[in-house]
C-alpha cells in the first residue's frame, strides 16, 4: 500500500499533464486524491495495532507519528482537490482551462507526492531530498499565474527556502558524523530507526550544533521567525488551493522533519536544551505574528501571519515538554491545518466574488454569499480560539502544560498574544461578514464544489472541539510516546523486527 501512495500521485499528475481536457483532468485528480486518502486510512488503521509499516529495506517507513502526518496530508489534499475544481473554473478563463489546468494538476500532484515521501521515509537523507523537492515544485505553483507579484513571491520563496534547506543539509551531515560511535554492524547510519536505538552514544557536542542547524533549516520551511519572510508573499500570491496546501500541510511536513531529529537528539542531550530552543523560536514567531496580524489589510496575508502564530504555538507546546504539551502540540497541528485550510477556501470565494483581497472592500459577506459568509464567521471564531471549536481545546492543553511545567513567563506571553489576536481576527471577520456590501457585487455562491470543500472541513472542526475520536486519541498517544522517547517493543527489538 505504501508503494501505491507514491505511485498514484505520480501517475495522476502525468496523465493530467498529457490529457488536454480540463474536465477529465479534474476527474482524474479527484479520483487519485480519493484513492490516496482511502489508503492512508487503511495504513493508519494498521499502525494503530502497534506495528509500523516499512518497505524498501526501511527507506519507506511509517510509524504512528508518520501515519498521523500522512493522514493529515492526504485528508487536506482531498479537500483541496475538491475545492480546486470550483476555484480554478472561476479563476481561469474558459479558453484557458484546457491549456493550463493539466499543468496545474501536474504540479499539484508532484507537490503532494514530495510531501508524502517526506512523512513516509525512514532515511534522513531522503527526508532532506523530499523537503527540498517540495520547494522546487511548489515554486512553480506559487508563480502559477505568471504575474509580476506572483513571480516575485515565487523567487523570494525559492531563494530563502533554498538557503534554509542548506542549513538543514549541514545539520544532517553533522548528525551523521555524530553517529560514528554507533556500532559498526549498523547497516545504514542515515536510517532514523537505527540511529534512534543507539542515539545515547552520539557525540553530544556535535549533536547540539547539528540540532541548531536542523532547527534553522527546517524551521525556515516551517515558517518560524525570523526565517518566515517568504511566507506572507507566497501564501498571498499563490492560487488559493495552493495557499491552503502550503499552510495546512507543507509547514507541518517541515515540522515533522524537526521532530525526527528532536527525537534523536533527546536521547543524548538534556531535554531542557532542546526545549528552550523550541520555546525561543516559538515565542518569537508568536509575538512577531501578533503585531503583523493587527495591521494587515490583505486577507490572505493575514492568514499567512496567522500560520506563523500557530506554528509558534505548536513549537511552544513541544518546548513545554511532557505528555500534555506534546499531545496538545500534535492536536494543534491537526486543528490548525483544518481551520486554516477552511479560511483560505473562504478567502478564495470572497476574492472571486468581490474581486479583491483587501478586507476593507469586503463587506456584507453573509448577505451576498450566505454559506461562505457563515463559514467565514465560524472559521474566524475557530481560528481565534473561541470555544467550543477545536483550536480552543488544543490551545488550552498547551497553556496548561506551560503553566504546570513552570514556564510561567512564556505561558503568559502566549496568553496575552492569543487575546490580542482574538480581538484582531474577530474585528476583521465581523466587518467582512456584516455591514452593507459594496454596490455592484453579485449575489450567490461562487461554485458548488467550493462550498462542498468548506463543508467537509467544517464538520471535524466542530466535532474536535467537543470530542476526540478514539482512533485519533490512540494515534496521538502513540506519537507522544515516540516523541518523548518512550521505547515501544519494535524499537527494543530493532529494525529487523519490522520486516
pLDDT tens-digit profile of 72-130?
A: 999 999 999 999 999 999 988 766 777 789 999 999 999 999 999 999 999 999 999 99
Q: What span, in angstroms and rounded, lies between the C-alpha atoms of 451 and 444?
A: 11
424 has a pLDDT exceeding 60: yes
Q: Tell me whether strands 53-55 and 60-62 are parallel, antiparallel or unpaired.
A: antiparallel
The Cβ-side half-sphere exposure at 173, using a 13 Å CA radius, reads 7
Q: What span, in angstroms and rounded, lies between the C-alpha atoms of 82 and 92?
A: 16
Cell numbers of 10, please?
A: 505520480
Q: What are phi and psi of 19, to 5 degrees?
A: -85, 125
Q: What span, in angstroms and rounded, lies between the C-alpha atoms of 70 and 96?
A: 33
Query: Across all residues in the chain, what is the average pLDDT?
Result: 92
What is the predicted pLDDT for the residue at 493? 45
Which residues are within 8 A (CB) of 488 and not within 5 positions of it... i.e. 6 or more apart?
50, 478, 481, 482
Burial track 21-42 (b if 16+ CB lie within 10 A, e otherwise)? ebeebbebbbebbbbbbebbee
CA proximity to 111, closest of 121, 103, 99: 103
The predicted-structure confidence for 152-175, as pLDDT tens digits, reads as follows: 999 999 999 999 999 999 999 999
Identify the band that residue 429 occupies on the pLDDT scale cut at 50, 70 and 90.
very high
Q: Is the four-CA dihedral 324, 325, 330, 335 of positive or negative sign?
A: positive
Chain position carrying cell 498574544: 417
Bond preceding residue 217 cis, omega within 30 of 0:
no
Q: What span, in angstroms and rounded, lies between the C-alpha atoms of 281 and 286?
A: 9
Q: Where does residue 128 rank: exposed (0-12), middle (13-18), buried (19+ CB within 10 A)?
A: buried
**Residue 461 near residue 381 (C-beta atoms within 8 A):** no
What is the predicted pLDDT for the residue at 178? 86
Q: Where does residue 188 rank: exposed (0-12), middle (13-18), buried (19+ CB within 10 A)?
A: middle
445 has a pLDDT exceeding 60: yes
**Residue 141 near residue 130 (C-beta atoms within 8 A):** no
Torsion on CA atoms 274, 275, 281, 287, rounded to nearest 10: -170
What are the residues facing 358 on neighbouring strands? 298
Write the CA distances from 37 to 33, 75, 240, 331, integer angstroms: 6, 6, 21, 20
**Cβ neighbours, 10 Å, residue 134:** 25
Bond preceding residue 226 cis, omega within 30 of 0:
yes
Tell me what the mean pLDDT of segment 320-343 comes to: 97
Lowest mean pLDDT among 185-194, 315-324, 400-409: 185-194
What is the predicted pLDDT for the residue at 499? 43
Distance of CA 102 to the CA centre of its chain: 25
What is the predicted pLDDT for the residue at 188? 54
Domain boundaries, the chain: 1-120, 155-269, 270-498
**Residue 296 near residue 278 (C-beta atoms within 8 A):** no
**Residue 166 near residue 214 (C-beta atoms within 8 A):** no
The predicted-structure confidence for 178-215, as pLDDT tens digits, reads as follows: 887 766 555 456 888 888 888 888 899 999 999 999 99
Q: What span, in angstroms and rounded, lies between the C-alpha atoms of 304 and 290?
A: 12
**Cβ neighbours, 10 Å, residue 177:** 13
Q: What are phi and psi of 202, to 5 degrees?
A: -65, 155
Tell me what the mean pLDDT of segment 410-415 comes to: 98
What is the predicted pLDDT for the residue at 186? 55
What is the predicted pLDDT for the residue at 58? 73
Choice between 334 and 60, residue whose per-residue pLDDT is larger: 334
What are the residues facing 53 on neighbouring strands? 62
**Cβ neighbours, 10 Å, residue 199:** 22
What is the predicted pLDDT for the residue at 498? 43
What are the residues facing 61 on neighbouring strands? 54
**Diameter over CA atoms, the chain:** 74
Amino acid at each position: 500500500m505504501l508503494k501505491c501512495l507514491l505511485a498514484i500521485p505520480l501517475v495522476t499528475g502525468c496523465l493530467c499533464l498529457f490529457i488536454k481536457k480540463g474536465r477529465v483532468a479534474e476527474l482524474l485528480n479527484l479520483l487519485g486524491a480519493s484513492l490516496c486518502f482511502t489508503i492512508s486510512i487503511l495504513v493508519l488503521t494498521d499502525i494503530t495495532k502497534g506495528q509500523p509499516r516499512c518497505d524498501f529495506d526501511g527507506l519507506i517507513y511509517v510509524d504512528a507519528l508518520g501515519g498521523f502526518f500522512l493522514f493529515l496530508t492526504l485528508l487536506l489534499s482531498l479537500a483541496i482537490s475538491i475545492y480546486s475544481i470550483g476555484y480554478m473554473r472561476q479563476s481561469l478563463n474558459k479558453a484557458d482551462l484546457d491549456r493550463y489546468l493539466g499543468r496545474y494538476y501536474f504540479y499539484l500532484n508532484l507537490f503532494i507526492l514530495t510531501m508524502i515521501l517526506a512523512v513516509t521515509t525512514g532515511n534522513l537523507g531522503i527526508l532532506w531530498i523530499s523537503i527540498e523537492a517540495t520547494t522546487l515544485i511548489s515554486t512553480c505553483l506559487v508563480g502559477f499565474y505568471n504575474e509580476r507579484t506572483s513571480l516575485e513571491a515565487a523567487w523570494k520563496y525559492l531563494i530563502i527556502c533554498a538557503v534554509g534547506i542548506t542549513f538543514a543539509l549541514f545539520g544532517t551531515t553533522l548528525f551523521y558524523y555524530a553517529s560514528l560511535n554507533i556500532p559498526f554492524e549498523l547497516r545504514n547510519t542515515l536510517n532514523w530507526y537505527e540511529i534512534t536505538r543507539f542515539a545515547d552514544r552520539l557525540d553530544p557536542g556535535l549533536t547540539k550544533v547539528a540540532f541548531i542547524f536542523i532547527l534553522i533549516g527546517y524551521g525556515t520551511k516551517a515558517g518560524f521567525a525570523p526565517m518566515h519572510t517568504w511566507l506572507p508573499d507566497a501564501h498571498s500570491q499563490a492560487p488559493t488551493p495552493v495557499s491552503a496546501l502550503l499552510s495546512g500541510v507543507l509547514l507541518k511536513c517541515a515540522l515533522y522533519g524537526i521532530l525526527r531529529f528532536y527525537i534523536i537528539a533527546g536521547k543524548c542531550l538534556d531535554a531542557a536544551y532542546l526545549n528552550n530552543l523550541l520555546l525561543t523560536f516559538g515565542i518569537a514567531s508568536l509575538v512577531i505574528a501578533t503585531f503583523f496580524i493587527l495591521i494587515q489589510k490583505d486577507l490572505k496575508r493575514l492568514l499567512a501571519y496567522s500560520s506563523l502564530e500557530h506554528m509558534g504555538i505548536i513549537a511552544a507546546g513541544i518546548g513545554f515538554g511532557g505528555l500534555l504539551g506534546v499531545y496538545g502540540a500534535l492536536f494543534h497541528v491537526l486543528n490548525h491545518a483544518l481551520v486554516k485550510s477552511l479560511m483560505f477556501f473562504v478567502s478564495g470565494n470572497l476574492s472571486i466574488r468581490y474581486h479583491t483581497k483587501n478586507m476593507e472592500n469586503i463587506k456584507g459577506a453573509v448577505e451576498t454569499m450566505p454559506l461562505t459568509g457563515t463559514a467565514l464567521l465560524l472559521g474566524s471564531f475557530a481560528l481565534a480560539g473561541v470555544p467550543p471549536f477545536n483550536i480552543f481545546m488544543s490551545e488550552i492543553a498547551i497553556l496548561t502544560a506551560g503553566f504546570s511545567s513552570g514556564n510561567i513567563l512564556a505561558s503568559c506571553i502566549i496568553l496575552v498574544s492569543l487575546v490580542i489576536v482574538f480581538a484582531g481576527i474577530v474585528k476583521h471577520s465581523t466587518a467582512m461578514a456584516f455591514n452593507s456590501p459594496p454596490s455592484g457585487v453579485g449575489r450567490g455562491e461562487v461554485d458548488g464544489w467550493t462550498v462542498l470543500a468548506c463543508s467537509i472541513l467544517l464538520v471535524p472542526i466542530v466535532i474536535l472541539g467537543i470530542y476526540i475520536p478514539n482512533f485519533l486519541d490512540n494515534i496521538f498517544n502513540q506519537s507522544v510516546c515516540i516523541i518523548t522517547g518512550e521505547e515501544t517493543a519494535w524499537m527494543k527489538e530493532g529494525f529487523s523486527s519490522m520486516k
